[in-house]
Amino acid sequence: MPTPGDKYAIMTLCEKAKDFESKNSVDGTLRLYDVEARKTVGKTVSVCFACHKDEDVGKAVLCGMDAVWQ
């Protein structure tokens, strides 16, 4: 999803991870992409395990995203 000004895009990814019982799983993450440089910026950020950890929810996967820029 492009950011205002189209300099960056926010990507949703599914990455291999260990769940709360140390079993193989996937985690939904976000990553910033520099459109002009054609490369990613920084590290991915968990948006599934980070929120679901306290609820002991395993296989939580980001399916997509939507936003309204203001």
pTM: 0.70
Q: What is the pLDDT along the chain (70 residues), one digit of tens a residue?
A: 999 999 999 998 888 887 777 888 888 889 999 999 999 999 998 887 767 766 666 566 666 677 777 7
- Distance, CA of 16 to chain centre: 12
> What is the rounded end-to-end Cα distance, in angstroms, of the chain?
15
* Domain residue limits at 22: 8-55
Report the domain count for the chain: 1
Considering the domain boundaries, does residue 60 fall inside one? no
CB 29 within 8 A of CB 45: yes
Residues 6+ apart with CB under 8 A from 41: 8, 31, 32, 33, 34
CA distance 45 to 47: 6
Considering the domain boundaries, does residue 66 fall inside one? no
Considering the domain boundaries, does residue 50 fall inside one? yes
